[in-house]
Each structure stands twice: as C-alpha cells, then as structure tokens.
Structure 1
Amino acid sequence: MSEFEALRTQLSEAAATFADGPGALEGILLGIVDDVDRAVAEPLEIFPVCHHSPASAVAMARRLREKQPKVIYLELCEDMAPLLTELRNCRLPVAVQAFATDVDGFPAEWAPLSVVAPITEASAEYQAISYALDTPGVELVLVDRSSDHVFQWDNRGTEAQQTDPDSAPPDEEAALHGDAVGVEIGDLRPRFAELEEHLLHHGRVRHWSEWWHQYVELPLGDSDHDTYRQVMLLIGSLFRRLAPGDPHRVRVDEDRERYMWTRMREHLDATGTDVADCLYVCGAFHASSRVAEFGVNGTAGTGTFEISPRTASKWQHGLIPSSHAAIEAQFGLAAGSVSIAATEWAKNLKRTKVQPFRLAGQAGGAKKKKAAALPAPAPEIAPSDHLTGFLQRPPVLDRLDEAELLGWSVEVVRAARRNGYLSSTADAIAVFETSILLAGMRDRAKPTPYDFQDAAVTCIEKDTVPGRRDVRRIVEIMMGGDRIGQVGYDALPPLARDVYDRLAPLELNLQQRGVRRALLDIASNPDLEPCSDLLWMLRYLMPYGAARPIMGERRLGERPIQESWDLAIGTHQRALIELGYEGVSIEQVLEQRLRRGAYGPRATAASVLAAVEDATLYLRSHRLAGELGTRALEVLATERSADGAPEVLRRVRRLLAFYRTSEPVLPAWIESFVKTGYAHYCTLLPTAFTDEDASVDQVAAMLGFLFSMEGLALSLGCDRTQLELAVAQSHPEDPAKVALLWAAQVQLGTLSRAELRTRCDELLGNPLVLPAYPRYLSGFVHALEPAPGLADFVVEAVSNAFARLPDPVLLPWLPTLITTLKAGGADLAPLLIREAGRIFPSRLAALDEWVPPWLAEEAVPVVRRARQSRGLPLLAAHPATCDAVADLLGCDGTWETGDGGPPETPGSALLGQYPDTALALEELLTYP
C-alpha cells in the first residue's frame, strides 16, 4: 500500500479544500484508492477492460505477450464456451447467442429467451480468445453466470432496459440483435446521471462516447501496463461508488462477482493451477468489487456462495451476424462510435507496434502473417504508483494526428463531391482549420473525429443536402462505416446449411448480403420446383424481405409454372440461424409453428383453419391437415360469438373447393366440421341477431355458412328444421340486421319477393323511417353473402333509393355503401355489377325510353303468357326430361296438347306451377 501513500495525501488535502473539511468526499476518494490498491495486490492478476475499447485491446495484446498465462478466466456466460472455436469461420463482428424457445421455469410470456454477446476485432475479449485458442497449453475458462441465470436474476424489465436503452433500432442493421438481452465484458458507464452530465458539460462534449474517446481512450492508447491497469481500476471504482443504490441492480452486480470468484476458486482447486499463471479478464466495474468472496483467498473461504441450479429450459447456442450499429443501439453508444474505435485500433497498432492476436483462418480483414514464436515471459516487476503521473500529464499533439486530420479533410471533400456537394480544395482547408479551432474552443489539445465531423458539417453542408446522404453520414462512412459481420457456412446450424444446399440449383451467392434476383422456369426445368417449395416456406417463416415473390403465387390446387424472387437471405442471416434453434429442417420448424399456433391459448377456429390451409399449401401433409382440422372442430365448438365467422366461411369454402377437385372423397374432418358448424351457427344465430357487438357482416357470414353448406350438411344428417327455427326465433332491432333477416326468410321460402318488395315500398313511404332506410339497404348488400340470388332485388332496391330518397339522406349514406362494397368487394361487388349490367341498357340512347323491369308491372303477365306459349313446344318435344324432374319433385298430372287432348302429365303440371323455368330454358337455348 505504500506506493499509493502520496496519492492518498493529495486526495485528502483536495477533499479538505473543496469540501470545507474531511467527510464523505474524502471517504469516497480514499475508498477509490483502497479499491485500486486491493485489486493490484490480489495474487490472481485482474485485467480490467471496457467493452469494444481499442486501448483495452492493445493493452491486452501487449500483456498476453509479456505474461503468457496458462489459464485465462474470462467474464462471459459460461455456457457459451463451446461456440468460441466457431469464430474462425466468421467475419467479425458477430455475436455469440443463447436462445431458448421451450421455456420451463420462466413465465411463458418471456419466450423466446435470447442472450447475445457481441465480439469485435478491436476488443480485449477477442484478443484473449484468440490467444487462448491458438496457443498450445492455454485454457480458456468462462466464469460469468450462465444464460439461464441471466433470466433467473432478471426482474423482466429492469436489467433489459438498462442494457438496451434503444429498444427500437432505426434500421435493419441496428436490429440485428433483435430484442435479445446483451451481455459483454466491461459495461463501463456512469450510472449516476448527475455525474455523467457533469463530465459531459465540463468536457465540452455531446455524449458519453465522445467523452470516453477524448479523456480515456486516447491517453491510454499507448500507455504501459501498470498505468493502464491502475487507471481502469480507478474509473471502475469511481463509477461503482457513485452509482445510485438500486437494490436489484446492486444485488445482480454483486451476485455476478460472487459467481465469478466462486467459479475461479473451484477451477483452481480442481486443477491445482498456480495463481501466477492465471489472468482474470473482467470489466473494470467488477474489478473493483468489494464483495466478501473477492480474491482467491477471500474471506468466504471455500466459497459459500450458493449457485442456483439451471432451469429445465432447453437452450440452443450459435453465432449470429452483428454490426457496429447493432452494438451501438443495444448498449446505448453514440452512432459511429464503434466504427471510430475500429479506426483508433488500427492507429494504435501502427503507433505502438504491438502485434495483435488473430484466430487462424479468421474470415475478413488482412491476410494473417505467419505468427512468430512467443518470446520468454518478461520478468514481473513490483507495481508502483502510476496514477499520480498519469493524472498530471497533459495531452500532447503529435504530427501523426495532424497528418491524419489533413487526410480526413481531403477525403471528406472527395466523398462530398461524389454525393453531389459543390465542395472544393478550399473546403478541405476550411475543414482542417475549423477542426483545430473547434478543438481549441473545447480545451482539447488535438481534434477528435467528433470535432472533425462538426467542422465538416459546418464547412460543406451549408443549408441543403443535394443527395441522399448528409455530411454527418458521409463522415461516419469515411471513418469505417457500419461494418457488418457474417457467420461462415461451417459455423451455421444444420437447418441453415440445409437451406443453402437446397437452394444451390439457383446458382446464387445467397450468403452474401444484399438482394439477389432468382428466376425459376419450373415448366421447362421441373428440378427447380423443390426450390420453389422451400422459398415459399422461407417467406412464411422469415421476416419480410428475406424471400419476396415478384412473380408467381401459391394457391390451393395450383402448380407453379414460372416464378421470380428477390432473395436477401444473407441480410437476414440471423433469422435463418434462429430457425435452426427450433429444428433440423425447415419443414419440421414450419410444422412445429403451425401446431403451436393451433394449440395455443389464443387459437380460434379461423386461425386453426388457416393453419390447415398452410399445412396443405406448403407441406402438402394430409396427416397434419387432418390433425389440425380436428383441432379446428374442437375450437369451433367452444366459441360463443360470431367474431370469426367471416374468416371461417372464406377458408372453409376454399378448402371444400380444393378437396372436391383434388380428392376422391372429402376428408372426414371437414365433413364433421360442416356438420358441427351447421348446428353451432344455428344455435348462435338468434343471439347474434340481437347482440350489439355482432356486426352485420358477421351475422351475414353465419347465414352464408348455413346456406352455402346446407346441401352438404343435410346429406350428412343435419335437419333443416334447425335453421328454420333459428330464423323464426331471431328478432333483430337494428335495421341492417332486419333486412338481413328478411333476406334469410326469402332464401328459406317463408317470405316471397312480392312481400319483400311491399315491405321496402312501405319503408320508403314512411317519412319517419326514411332516415334509417340506407341502413336497410346496407343489410341487403350484406345479404348477398348468404343469398346471392337476391342480386337483382338489391339492384332494384338501390335504384329505388337513388330515385326516391332525398339528398340529405342519400348523400351521407354513399360513403357507407362504398365502404361496404370495398370490404366485401371480392364477392359482393361483382354480383351487383353483373346484375346491373344485365338489367340496365347497354347504350346511352336507349336510356331515355328504358323502363325498369320492376315498374313494368302491367306488361309482365302479357309477356309471360306469350313467352310461355312459345316455351310449350320445346317442352312438348322433349317431355321425358320434364317428366323425370316432376317425378323427383313428386308432381302428378298428364300432358295437354290442345282442346280435348290427353290428360295432364307430371311435366305439364310442373310447367304450370313454375313457368319461369321454361322461359329461362328457352332463353338459354335461343328457341325461335
């Protein structure tokens, strides 16, 4: 402790001067020195780091070559250790991920659980990993809590919010980590808001990343090991002692430290490794720990901290691509700060001549030179006080920085010209001088990249941005941009490798980022059909844009002919990797997803039918479709409202049409569904008519199901009396539902069209009902769903409304009519348009003399009799057909050929009762 006595004396005097006497301030300042002294004196060497800090990375590379430890204890989730060797097959930055979809021991709403630990080349952890994996005889031991313990100790909100302040990243590069909880070595940032504000204000900087770069990163870039170590311990102790007393956060921090020291003591006891051959790499915040378990000879003795067992959750581990923007967004760093750190890393290596460690075969970056043998470890020198000299040393501007600034100024002008700015050499000079001026105004010895960025914006951008990039973004790109990592083929899970292998016939580099256009001429090359099937499954499972069809569609009962796709699978590599955590093939994952949704707590009959359709469409699995169809039947029986009726009707119709055209017999499940649905909707119909929460289109869909499925339901044993009783028991009050009920009665035959027309005329003749008449019409429009045969009557009713309703009533109703037709436009509008085209004249000249058919009441009987007399010869010439129909319908009688002819036959009696049929048949056959 003697080496820090001088510093203790200075801090005591400073505390007495600024605080008017010794007290709390002196206790904090001296406590910081005690923390540094305690960590330095620990037999197990502690190496404090800050995440993605080039100064930490340089100091780590230098220390590893000097000390050459045989065991490295690393602050990283212990269950991620097997994945680190796969970093050789990746291009950094990437993130080690632990992922759990089968949650057991955590609330179901937390699923899926995800933890990521991003790794960049300019980081101390990567240097330690590279040294340990490529140096024979060196063991790497991860000692931090497991991924399972991350969530065991999480109160679901507090920690995730603190480590992920930007929960909504602005772009897809920043969203590479999704909503995963981020863990990494050295989260070194003040947790005391007033302290951070004070440092930013007096440092004359805009954000924390700039302060760290200026006052820590640059001074420590080429410092010796003892200076670096003591300064980082000092900063970690300061932030720790000034942190607010959040009980949960403090408990988690201290439990992590107890966990790590317990694991290290367990390893030392089990292996008998000499402490002098070990190195403990952790964040500076944890290096200054004050827990009782601190140190290999901690007061807890053999380590009394009880580590709770892991839950039964099934964790999957893998590597996912990361990016500078994703790291910045997840850990609350300023935009561009990680790219600037990468530039500073290269600069430090050039200045200090330190040779970094790099995994053999590492993808990306410069080709690695043949590594030279490590020299003999340097003799250990007793540590001394380096803090006093470092704190008193002013920064110095060297010529290398001036040359670098000049190069930046020239390059930013060149880049600005390429982006449409009218910049010149004079602007380069102005940027150079303004950068130095801004640095001087901010009390800095040399301009930082942030000063340069402000100067470039001031001197080049002016008040307009001619291109799509502003100067600030141009500077970020020039400083290194957003480097995006990639996971190599060998490091991918089996599912991802299988996807790439099965898409190989497309002859596209799908592992590369960006969009690739794939053209599939399946008609001439049937071998491409499996690729089409796989692409449709990827479109279903992966985020939008990963596989986007440009031409072609997938429908029930249709086979693909030609397709065109935009594929960005490399851009969405993380999503593909996470699919690999759920299964070994894409088909297995899709089946699990469909089954999980069908059996989930929020499943509805409509959603389960959608799963049946998807299983048939994408997997062509009759087994799964049958299982899910049975589940849809179970869910339908439990529903007590009409909410899902429209979607149920649409999907059942599609499935019925598919099975009727592709299968010899209907599947048993769909027959049971129709039979049960018929009885179910008959039961719910009276309640739905009077329920205010049931909309008109929902009730219309119920009636549509009952009427359109009636033939099949009756053949399966249902009784039509159920429907007749349900309609008879329905007593709606809403005008739209009343009109819907009338339409149902017409469809059942309990109400004639003449009576329906009379009721509408009475409504139009009643001044008190006129304001509500458009609502009746809306009900008639919806009635086209269950009774499409009423299309001519709906055209008549709408025409009468336009003719007789006053403008104050008609005009406000028009938006409702348009909205109704738009909502059901696929089915309702074509019916009305076709019927209107049949009724109304096709030429404008004929409109003046045209009389609507429903107004020509007097001419109807005459025309009918005349046309009926012309239809009789046709029926008399072919009596067998008409007699057969009459026999089926139970009609008796004989044919009459004239006065005194033979008695009437069943066919003639049928003709007398239904003359319109003969007239329609005559029109179809164009009988002269």
Structure 2
Amino acid sequence: MSDTVLADDTAARPFGALRRRLLDAAAAFADGPGALTGILTGIVDDVDRALRQELEVFPVCHHSPASALAMARRLRDKRPEVVYLELCEDLRPLLPELRNCRLPVALQAFSTEIEGFPPEAGPLSVIAPITEASAEYQAIAYALDTPGVELVLVDHPVDHVFQQIFREGPAGGRRPRSDGEGAAGPDAASPEESAALHGDAVGVRIGDLRPGFAELEEHLLRHGKVRHWSEWWDQYVEQPLAGADYDTYRQVMVMIGSLFRRLRPADPARLARDEERERHMWTRMREHLAATGADPARCLYVCGAFHAASRVEQFGLAADAPPYEIPPRTGTRWRYGLIPSSHSAIEAQFGLAAGSVSIAEATWAKAVARGGVAPFRLKGQQGTTRKRRTPASRRPDPAGSATTSEDRLSGFLATPPKPDALDEAELIGWCVDIVRLARRNGYLAGTADAIAVYETSVLLAGLRGRARPTPYDFQDAAVTCIEKDTVPGRRDVRRLCEILLGGDRVGQVGYDALPPLARDVYDRLAPLGLDLQKRTIQRALLDLGARPELGPCSDVLWMLRYLLPDDAVRLIMGERRLGERSIQESWDVAIGRHQRSIIELGYEGVTLEQVVEKRLRKAAWAPDATAATALAAVEDAINHLGGGRVTEELGMRAVALLAAERTVDDAPEVLRRIRELLAYHRSRGALPAWCEAFVTTGYAQYCTLLPSAFADEDTGVRQVAAMLGFLLTMESLALSLGCDRAQLELAVRQSHPHEPAKTALLWAAQYRLGMISRKELRSRCAELLDNPLVVPAFPRYLSGLVQALEPVPELVPIVVETLSKAFGRLPDPVLLPWLPRLITTLREQAGELVPLLVREAERTFPGSLAALDAWVPPWAAPPAPAVPAPAASPAIGPAAQLLAAHPQACHAAAVLLGCDGDRREGGAAAELVSRHPATADAVAALFTPIPAR
C-alpha cells in the first residue's frame, strides 16, 4: 500500500517520470535499491530544488562559451534589476576599470603587510581571470552598462579565502592539478612566459566542474574517445548546450553539478569549505534583499553549477535555518588592482589542457558570428572592434522572462544530439592555414599535406562518433600528417594549431586602470620614446653626456632593475657603483611583458623610491639579516636613492647586527663592502657617524671572536683571513677612533689554531704585530720543508700564507722564497704528487691573491733563460760585509739621528726596503744605515730635520 502511494506521489511531481526511469535503471543494474538509487534520485531532487527557488539560480561553468551564450540570452529576456555574482565581494570596486583593459585580464588582491597569517607565506595574492567568452563577463557588462541595474558580489572576501587555505594547510589550493595530456610541445618561450603571468597567486573562478574521482574521469575519457577533460567537456557539454533553450541548459548544468558533487571522495575539509562559501553567499543575498527591498523575481543569482546543487540549510530564500555568522577578517591590509592575463595563464592556473581556452574563445566568436545572440560588451572596452547592441535598446519580453520547471532532462538525455553539418569551408581554411604556418616554421609541407589533414580530420571525427570534426580532431590530424621525426623550429605542429585557432591571447591593463606607481613609471620613461605597452623587447640608448635630461630615466631603469625580474629591464652597457656613473648606457626594456610585476609594485607604494626604501628596510630588518646584508642595503640606498636619512638608519642597523653576531661566516663580504663604503665616503669628505661606529664595533667584535675562530674547525680559513684583514688594515682608523691596540695583541696571543692554514695565518699576524721577526718567520717556513711528516700538508700552510697577503702585503717576498725553495729542494717523487694538490688548494682558497705572487716572481727571477744559469737567489746570496762608517761622517749624520730618535719608524722603513734584523735591537735599521747610507739619508730627509744636541 505504501509503495503505491509513493509511486503516485513520485509520478505527480515535475520530474516524476524521470525519477521512475532512474529507479527502474538502478534496480536493473544494481539488483535493487541502494547507493546508486540514492545518487540518481538525489540528482533529480537537486535539479528540482534549484528550479523551484523564488530567486532564479543561473548555473555556469568557468570560461564556458555555452554558459556565456545562455547568459547573454537570459539577460536580454529577463532584464534583471539585481545580479548576484559568485565572486569575492571585496573585488567589486575593480569591475568598472575593465573598460580600460584589453581582455583577458585578472582581478587581483595583493598583500605584503600580513597579519593573522604565517609571515613566511607572504606575499599573498588572489586572482580572478576574466575573458570575453565567460558568463561572468556578460553579467558584468550588462550590469555596468544598463541603468538601474545593481551588481552585487556575494562570495567570500579574499581574506576568508586565505583563512580557509591556511586552516587546511599551506598547500591548500595553491596550484591545482593539470591535464598531463595537454602539455605544450617544444615551444617553450612564449607559452611559459605568458603562463607565468599569474605567478603563484591563488586562483578563484565561477564553476569548477570536474569529477572528484580520478577513476570516473578516466572512465569518461576512455568511453568518450578523447584525450583530456577539456576535450570531453567541449564534445559532450559545450556543443550540445550551445544551441539549447534556457530551461534545458539550466537543468543540464544543475544535473552535472549535482553529479560531480555526489560522486567525489569523502573529504570533510573540502565539504566544509564549499558549504561555508554557500552559506556566506545566501546570507549576503538575504541581507541585500532585506536592505533594499528588491523583488526576488527581478533578481538573478549567477553561481557555479556545483553550488547550484547545494544542500546547505540556508539554500533558498524560504529556508528557515538560523542565519550564518560570517567570521571576522584578519588585520591583513589588501590592495586591489587589475593585472594582465592570458589563455595560457588561465590554463596553467586551473589545470586545463593547453589550448582549451583559445578553442573556447574561437567557439564563442563563431557562435556570435552566426547570429542569434547579441553579446554584452562594456562601452570603451579595448580590443573589441565588433559592433555591439545597446542593452537598453530592447524591452524585456514577458514571455521570455518566464521559466518553466517542467522536465526537459528526459528529452535531452534520451535524444541524440542533432547532427551538425560539416562546415567544409571552415575545415578547408584550417587545412590551408596550418600548411602555410608549418612552411613558415620550417616544415616541408605542401598541398598534399593539406588534403591529408582534411581527410584525416573527417576520418577521426567518424571514428570518434562525431558528426563533424572538432578543433581537437583537426589538431590530431595535423600532427599525424605534418609533423615528422624532428621539429625544425621552436614550435611543433600542436602549438601551430593553437596559434591558428586563436593563439595565446594576452590581455593588457590600460593606462587609466594602472596604480599611481605604474603610471608614474610610464610618465618618467616617456622621454625615451618607447612604446611601453608593447610586449616586444625594445632597445633604449642613453647618452647622458649629450642629453643630461635622460638622467631621471636612467635612475628609473636602475631602480626597476633592482625591483623587477632580470629580463624586465636588462642592462647591456653601463655601470653604477659607489661614486661611479656611466656616461652612456644601453638597456633592453620589456616592461610590456612584465606589466603584472609593475602593477604589484604599485600595491607596495606610491613611487619607486618608496618601494625601494621599503625593500631595503625589509632586507635589513629581516629575521635572518646579517651585517653583510645591511651593508648591501646601504650600498643600494646610495646607488638608487642617493643616500641621506635612509643610509644612516641602514648603517646603524648594520652596526647593531655586527655587534650581535656570534659567527664570522660573512666576514669576507663585510670586509669588502665596508672598504668600498669607506673609500666612497672618504672621497666625499668626512666619514659619517655610522661608519666610525662600524669600524670601532667591528674592531672590538673581531678581537673578541678571533681566538675562537682560530680554534673552531667549522670556521674557514677565508673567514679568519677576512677578520685579520679588517683588524690590520683598519687598525690606524680604529686606533684614531679610540680603540686599544693591546686588545688585538692579546687576541693574537690567545689564539692557538690546529689547522695548518690557520697556523700560517697566525704567523702572519704575529709578524705584522712585531711579535716575531722576518728571520724567525723564514726559519719556521724552512722547518716545514725540512720535516718529512709536514711536507704533505705544506700546501695548506702555503694557502694560509697566501690568504694573509691582503692584510700583510710584506709577506709576498717570503712566500715566493718559500715556494722557490720547495721546488728546488723537494725530490720529484715527493713534488709531483704534491703539486696538483698545491694548485687546487691555491685556486680554491686564494685564487684572487695568486697574481701578487706572480708579479713578485717576475721581479725576482731573471728575465732571460741565459741569465738563469748565473742567477743567484737573493735569499741565497751571502750577506754583504758591514762597513762601519765614522760616527762623525756627515753622510750618515741625519740617518743616525733619525735612528736614535725614531727606531720603530726606521725599522719599518728598512723592512720595506728589504733589510732584515731584530726589531728589538734595531737590526734592520742599522743594516740599512751601514749598507745603504745614501738611501738612509734620503729616508731621513723625508722627516723634519732633528737639531744636533
């Protein structure tokens, strides 16, 4: 009895016949009611529920020509007064700026000032691409150009999008999967470049229709005789629905959305995310209707087909569920704008097959050209030269504005699609054009290939059960008939077909829609005479000597080179260093290709100088910042901003970072940069306060860390050499600023290295500070060669001595002498295995200092082969006998007086002139006076004459 009542009730409902047929099919194939029955009848219930809503629900698919055609027809028939659109609600102010752009472009929300999200996740970016062949663009164009129509975006704001992503994990939705079968071929240049237009932004779109089960998708592809999902969708959804009436389109789209919603893996996180979005959208629509008093019958809700089959309790205006409490936003500051997009970027962002968006665009253009529908286009839209029909020119059709809930699915599912006659003219045109393109790209193609492509396209369409060849059939036929074993150029035949069928159209943001910083860049570069909107690489030649008015353009290019990717502005000729400016510069400018990067700079500041300053501060105050990075920021501030207050702040930050460092890993870079900065400021006058503070802080810091650096095995020889270079080469400046030399001497005495290279460095430091004499240093080097156990490690000792040449340049003759003795005394069985290690050690650890040894050897050794036999090394020559001079001799009187008054200065001058001796006894100075009296008197004459006592 109950079954009879249920059957009668089912038959009385709008989709009763379809339900009964599905129940019978489920009973036949599943041996009785069960899960299959629930799924099939649930799909019909979802369709019935969506159609019975007082607020009309318009289901769409992202970038679908069928959805765009149905949207254009429905908007002209119904003329709604309010359009609710599934799109981030905080992107609404950007929509009028679409008039100033050439599609495709993307709405973007960007943030570098992150609060409430993981700091390491920034910068955060969300994009929503817009193409002409999309239902959302038709709704936007209708609403913006029709007086009295309100467009309301009802989806989650951008902040909530990232709240959901980080709630599920950092990888939640960052990069969707892609169709592996649709990958592009060898044409890697332009597709990859345009595919990178979105960067790593999170993409949002209307209507993500795709099976959740990989097995289901594979089943559909196999039985549909297609390669990837985009082709299946075009063949079995787009083409049949392109000419369908509105009620059929609507029911089919809701049915597909319900099917994919029910046939998906049980993922609680994804289900919660989808339902939270749906609750948010229905809450926003109810709030708007309550606030404005709009008639729901004159409204239209545009959403993805997936959300049209929603089962949340807030679905529909008649639902009595409690209101949904919208969570608060974080403190993140979002900046909004438009960025250029492209077909390849959309495909890469949303996992579509390569060329699918271009084919959809071609399908849309063909449908519009056939007539029967007048699309909406924004007034003043760039790149739309076709005539448009004014939306207000047609009065609403009362008959067309009404929809029916009667069953259209049964007829659509039971009736095969109407065969579409073969368009021979179109197919012939494709075949001729692909042969022409192939010949231009190096293929040996001709008329026979065009005929073969035509016949193969028809054959493939027949094998796949299609009434006419689709662009995918033509693509396969062209690859089969034209492409040979190798690709002669950059583009393969598949890529040529994509170009032929529409190409990778790249959008552009107009000047009026750019942020202030981007407009400022365009204005400041205007004197160069370049068309910065072009996507080609343009050469800019700047003769700053003849045209000094181009100096500001040069400043802008250098700042863009610092801020943008390397290929946006590429320096060909010219240099900008501390205190140096080029007279002539040459640049390759490709700003048109990197318009997105320039626009995102506008989210960080109003001018380039402000963005450069923020980037420098961010680098200097980063958690992992070091003194070297702060000094690099100081150098960049001088080069790009001219110094000033920013330089002082960055310099003091470098001082603070240096004082806080407990390692010396960056000592070589610190030494190099501070030397350049000191030389620059000395050329300009007095040193700034931060430079003096850096020298005194560095002197005290490195003196403190020197003993531990000598003993630490993890600290390299180059780092210790750089520390000694800082301490020894800046000793005079540090002492003049109040540092104590005893601190350095104490640090050297406390150092006890174990490695050979560091031991040699310690010897050099002791020699430089006068703790050991030259004679003692020579004897230590000689002991290394006399000890057979130490000879294998001699290259490491030598590496340490070479590393010390920069802070102690007077070691160059000793190193050359030691090397010469090694080559002269070591036997071949020891020298030959030892030589490769010596070369590799010097090249790896002291490659830039080897030229000093080469120049010293050139001065020491004879210049001809004949003189080599009679040549005696200076270190092997017997010392000349000392000739004592009379004390009262006037020739040595000034030198003797100088020696008596200034023994340390005389000793240093004598060592530089090649004399040796014990410093404590004044031996080197006495040797100079005795052996070279004239030279001694000349040195004494450089000083103030000392009156005889």
Give the structure-1-normalised TM-score. Answer: 0.93
User: 1:423 — aligned with what?
Assistant: 445
Displacement of 1:208 after TM fit? 0.9
Structure 1 residue 616, shift from structure 2 partner: 1.1
Question: What is aligned with 2:379?
Answer: 360
1:262 maps to which of 280, 283, 301: 283
CA separation of 1:648/1:891 partners in 2, compared to 1, >3 Å: closer, same or farther? closer
Letter in 2 for 1:491: A
636-645 vs 448-457, greater mean Cα deviation:
448-457
Alignment of 1:323-334 (within 5 A): 323-334=342-353
Residue equivalent to 2:513 = 491
Matched, 1:343 2:365: no
2:552 equivalent among 490, 511, 530: 530
On the 8 A contact 2:374/2:388 being kept in 1, the answer is no
Asked whether the equivalents of residues 613 and 655 of structure 1 are also in contact (C-alpha less than 8 Å), the reply is yes
1:636 to 638, 641, 658: 658
Please point out which of 456, 466, 469 is paired with 2:488: 466
What letter is aligned with 1:81? R
The answer (yes or no) to whether the contact 2:179–2:353 under 8 Å persists in 1 is no
How far has the Cα of 1:667 moved from its partner? 0.6
- Within-5 A mapping of 1:820-899: 820-821=842-843, 824-826=846-848, 828-854=849-875, 856-858=876-878, 860-861=879-880, 876=891, 887=901
- 2:117 corresponds in structure 1 to 106
**Structure 1 match to 2:815:** 794
Aligned to 1:159: 172
Q: Name 1:762's counterpart in structure 2.
A: 783
CA distance in 1, matches of 2:248, 2:358: 26
Match of 2:473 in 1: 451
State yes or no: 1:912 paired with 2:932: no
Paired AA for residue 699 in structure 1: V
Q: Match for residue 201 of structure 2?
A: 180
Instruction: Name stretches of at least 5 consecutive residues in structure 2 with no aligned partner.
Output: 1-11, 908-921, 941-949
How many residues get paired?
898
Q: Look up the match of 1:609.
A: 631
- Select the residue among 136, 144, 158 that pairs with 1:133: 144
Higher mean C-alpha deviation, range 377-386 or range 29-38: 377-386
Shifted more, 915-924 versus 373-382: the winner is: 915-924
Provide the C-alpha distance between the structure 2 equivalents of 1:306 and 1:440, rounded to a whole number of angstroms.
55
Which of 374, 379, 386 lines up with 2:394 in the alignment? 374
1:556 Cα offset (Å):
0.4
Contact 2:898/2:906 (<8 A) preserved:
no
> 1:687 matched to which residue of 2?
708
Q: Give the superposition deviation at 1:913.
A: 5.2
- Distance in 2 separating the partners of 1:129 and 1:570: 27
Give the secondary-structure state (helix, strand or coil) at the position aligned to 1:98. Answer: strand
Counterpart position of 1:556:
578
Change (3 A) 1:446 1:106: same
Residue 339 of structure 1 aligns with an amino acid whose one-letter code is S
Q: Distance in 2 between matches of 1:327 and 1:12?
A: 40
Question: Could you say if the C-alpha distance between residues 909 and 731 of structure 1 is closer, same or farther in structure 2, counting changes exceeding 3 Å?
Answer: closer
Shift of 1:789: 2.2
Alpha-carbon separation, structure 2, partners of 1:892 and 1:14: 112
Q: Offset at 1:444? A: 2.8
Map of 1:193 onto structure 2: 214
Please state how far the C-alpha of 1:844 moved relative to its aligned partner: 4.0
CA shift in 2, pair 1:913/1:129, >3 Å? same
Do structure 1's residue 477 and structure 2's residue 499 form an aligned pair?
yes
Q: Which amino acid aligns with 1:536?
A: W
CA-CA distance at 1:395 after TM superposition: 3.4
CA contact under 8 A between 1:118 and 1:322: conserved in structure 2?
yes
Task: Please give the alpha-carbon distance, in whole angstroms, between the structure 2 residues aligned to 1:594 and 1:111.
Answer: 17
Is contact 1:891-1:909 (8 Å) kept?
Answer: no
Say whether the 8 Å CA contact 1:159–1:249 is kept in structure 2.
Answer: no
Q: Select between 622-631 and 371-380 the one with higher mean Cα deviation.
A: 371-380
Who is 2:161 aligned against?
Answer: 150
Whole-Å separation in 2 of the counterparts to 1:191 and 1:528: 58
Cα shift at 1:803: 4.0
Aligned to 1:92: 103
Question: 1:876 Cα shift?
Answer: 4.0
Q: Name the structure 1 match of 2:325.
A: 306
| Partner in structure 2 of residue 30 of structure 1 | 41
CA contact (8 A) 1:93 1:321 kept: yes
Tell me, in whole angstroms, the C-alpha distance in 2 between the residues paired with 1:253 and 1:319.
26
Residue 321 (1) aligns with residue 332 (2): no
Partner of 1:114, secondary structure, is strand
* 1:103-148 per-position Cα deviation (integer Å, ceiling 9, x unaligned): 1111211221111001111111001000000111000000000001
- What are the Cα deviations for residues 885-913 of structure 1, in whole angstroms up to 9, with x where unaligned? 975568999xxxxxxxxxxxxxx999535
CA shift, 1:432, in A, is: 1.2
Choose from 732, 744, 749 the match for 1:728: 749
- Measured in 2, the distance between the counterparts of 1:287 and 1:82 equals 26
- Worse-superposed segment, 841-850 or 201-210: 841-850
Matched, 1:11 2:22: yes
TM-score by length of 2: 0.91
Cα distance, 1:848 vs structure 2 = 4.2
State which drifts further: 196-205 or 639-648: 196-205
Q: In 2 relative to 1, CA 368–16 (structure 1 residues): closer, same or farther, beyond 3 Å?
A: same
Does the 8 Å contact 1:642/1:694 carry over to 2? yes
Q: In structure 2, how many angstroms separate the alpha carbons of the residues matched to 1:369 and 1:722?
A: 84
Matches within 5 A, 1:176-325: 176-300=197-321, 304-325=323-344
- Give secondary structure in 2 for the equivalent of 1:399: coil
Aligned partner of 1:535: which letter? L
Instruction: Give the secondary structure class of the aligned counterpart of 2:63.
Output: coil
* Partner Cα separation in structure 1 for residue 355 and residue 310 of structure 2: 31
**How far apart, in 1, do the equivalents of 2:474 and 2:297 lie?**
45
Question: 1:450–1:675: structure 2 CA closer, same or farther, 3 Å change rule?
Answer: same
Find 2:87's aligned residue among 53, 58, 76: 76
CA–CA distance in 2 between the matches of 1:466 and 1:165?
28
- For 2:564, the aligned partner's letter is M
Alpha-carbon deviation of 1:744? Answer: 1.1
Task: Show the counterpart of 1:899.
Answer: none
Deviation of 1:774 (Å): 1.3
Following superposition, the deviation at residue 370 of structure 1 comes to 5.9
State the 1:456 CA deviation: 0.9
Q: Percent identity?
A: 65
Q: Which SS does the other structure have where 2:759 is aligned?
A: helix
CA distance in 2, matches of 1:500, 1:135: 33
**CA–CA distance in 1 between the matches of 2:833 and 2:589?**
49
Contact residue 56 and residue 300 of structure 2 kept, 8 A: yes
Deviation at 1:676, TM superposition (A): 1.1
Deviation readout 1:502-530 (Å, 9 max, x if unpaired): 11111111122121110010011111111
- RMSD (Å) for aligned C-alpha atoms: 2.7
- Paired residues of 2:894 and 2:937 also in contact (CA < 8 A): no
Q: For 2:418 and 2:861, locate their aligned partners in 1 and report how far apart those are by CA, in whole Å.
A: 92
- Alignment partners' CA distance in 2, 1:702 and 1:317: 49
Residue from 53, 61, 72 that aligns with 2:64: 53
Asked whether the 8 Å contact 1:646–1:698 carries over to 2, the reply is yes
Which runs of 5 or more residues in structure 1 are unaligned? 894-907
Q: Distance in 1 between matches of 2:933 and 2:88?
A: 84
The SS at the match of 1:570 is helix
**1:746, distance to aligned residue in structure 2 (A):** 1.3
**Is structure 2 residue 78 aligned with structure 1 residue 67?**
yes
SS of structure 2 residue aligned to 1:115: strand
Q: Is the 8 A contact 1:47 1:229 kept in 2?
A: yes
